[in-house]
Structure 1
Amino acid sequence: MSIIEKAAQRMDKKRDAAANAAGADNVTPENVTAFSPAASPAAAPRPLAPEPAGPAAPAPLPLTPSATPAFAQAAAAPLPPQQPQQPPEPAARAARRHVELDLNHMRDSGMVTAAVGRTALVEDFRIIKRPLIKKALAERAPGERPGNLIMITSSLPGEGKTYCAINLAMSIAMELDHTVLLVDADVARPSVLRVLGLPAQRGLMDLLLDEKLDMSEVMLRTNVDTLSILSAGTSNARATELLASKTMSDFVNEIANRYPDRIVIFDSPPLLLTSEAHVLASHMGQIVVVVEAETTTQHAVQESLRQLEGCSNVNLIYNKTREFPGVEETYDYHYS
């Protein structure tokens, strides 16, 4: 072999040794693909070249409660438990209504009051009320109407029935052991509140029309502790039917039996002019017919009594009589 060939062989050996050394240096963990039965070496992914570096993206800001969107806050906050809605209580039931009677004006008008002293009028109504109270407190027979329901009526208007009803109520209110409810049942021509100087109020007719209305919402407490008033209420064309209804029957039974010491006085329409009086009488335990002296005819009185046939405990008050000469209207006794 010539010198030139030997030199070429040596150069080839050096080139092969350099190639082998370069291949061993390129084997790193990054370009080694693990083999598994589910992947073949041919399907192994080749390492990707790194992306060229671009502008750095801004780091996301941490969310705070103030930066959290409203809908996110609503979703995160727990919902408060729902409370059952309670029906509103009528304000009128919380406190009963109160009115002031002008007792001085009533006294000056010739009515019974506790401060009027011992007069003929006061004594007359003391005599009138005693048998009525006795019957009101008596034990009832089975099926008998309550004796503490007392109706004051007359044959015709103007005979003084309202005047007598108010005075009788005031006289009974002076008792130590009884309370009185004065009901204006003259629904066609109510006058109790007018005579007492009080404005019109809701009352009996409204109770019969509205089953949700409670009596405490319309009953009037007065400055006479033992006296309450129930007005006639709103006028209604069907008053007769309302007074004859079961609602009315239930109402009078309730007020008659709720308080054993209560006496209820109804100022009724005149018997000969309206149909309401006859219907109202069917609920009553006692009836008082006011007769105007020297004015009401005997025929009118007889006709009124005929309409009350079947009603027990009918009494008469002879009203507006002339004073006996020589007898003073006001007198006083002093006891020692």
Structure 2
Amino acid sequence: MITSALAGEGKTYCSINLAMSIAMELDHTVLLIDADVARPSVLKALGLPPQPGLMDLLLDDSLDLADVMLRTNVNTLSILPAGTANLRATELLASQSMKALVLEIAQRYPDRIIIFDSPPLLLTSEARVLAGHMGQIVVVVESQQTTQHAVLEGLRRLEGCDNVSLIYNKSRDFAGTETYDYHYG
């Protein structure tokens, strides 16, 4: 799961870039799931119109994952859109249906890497609910913008999650622009 403390830190672009990078490797397939159901942006970032997806799967038992999963021009990359907006999104993501869907995806595609683009931790309750289903969480932190307080509060909301990492994003500093002086004495 890729998330951030606040909106605009680059979590969707990190999700897309990570998914594409892994999909370009020889032995991996990737499913990118837009789980930011309140403000879905994966399809928008890729220039695609909204389509049925995750929320529709959770509401309609007659739908199959294959019915809403999008194939891309990268054979090893598929996308599950957020789907139709729903006022009960948090409840749906916390439901047995979501738990069953995550289990189905894991069992149906055991060799596939699943990346969830999640809502921001401090703006919605959906991110915390999703975190309960995840094996690994990555928190995107925007350079020079996200306060230490926001990062710490976001991480606090992930307490109990075993594998949490950070990505420092949008840094303007580039390697080689600083010099280091070493003295041996």
TM over 0.5: yes
String of CA shifts for 1:233-289, please: whole Å, max 9, x gaps.
Answer: 000000000000000000001111212210000000000000000000000000000
Higher helix share: 1
After superposition, residues 97-112 of structure 1 pair within 5 angstroms as none
One-letter amino acid of the structure 1 residue matched with residue 70 of structure 2: L
Please point out which of 34, 37, 54 is paired with 1:204.
Answer: 54
Mapped pair 1:271 → 2:133 = no
The count of corresponding residues between Structure 1 and Structure 2 is 177
The answer for the alignment partner of 1:315 in structure 2 is: 165
After superposition, residues 83-232 of structure 1 pair within 5 angstroms as 151-232=1-82
Measure how far apart 1:213 and its partner are. Answer: 0.7
Please point out which of 60, 80, 99 is paired with 1:249.
Answer: 99
One-letter amino acid of the structure 2 residue matched with residue 190 of structure 1: P
Q: 1:325 to 1:226 in 2, by over 3 A?
A: closer
One-letter amino acid of the structure 1 residue matched with residue 90 of structure 2: T
Q: Out of 269-278 and 315-324, give the one that drifted further.
A: 315-324
Measure how far apart 1:200 and its partner are. Answer: 0.6
In the aligned structure 2, how far is the partner of 1:320 from the partner of 1:304? Answer: 19
Higher relative contact order (CA 8 A, sep 6+): 2
Q: State percent identity of aligned pairs.
A: 78
2:92 partner SS: helix
In the aligned structure 1, how far is the partner of 2:28 from the partner of 2:175? Answer: 36
Please point out which of 77, 80, 87 is paired with 1:237.
Answer: 87
In the aligned structure 1, how far is the partner of 2:147 from the partner of 2:88? Answer: 30
Q: 1:253 to 1:326 in 2, by over 3 A?
A: same
In the aligned structure 1, how far is the partner of 2:17 from the partner of 2:76? Answer: 14
2:144 partner SS: coil
In the aligned structure 2, how far is the partner of 1:324 from the partner of 1:304? Answer: 27
1:305 partner SS: helix
RMSD, aligned α-carbons:
1.0
In the aligned structure 2, how far is the partner of 1:170 from the partner of 1:324? Answer: 23
The answer for the alignment partner of 1:281 in structure 2 is: 131
Runs of 4+ aligned structure 1 residues displaced above 3 Å come to none
TM-score, normalised on structure 1? 0.52
Measure how far apart 1:322 and its partner are. Answer: 1.2
In the aligned structure 2, how far is the partner of 1:208 from the partner of 1:182? Answer: 17
1:304 partner SS: helix
Higher strand share: 2
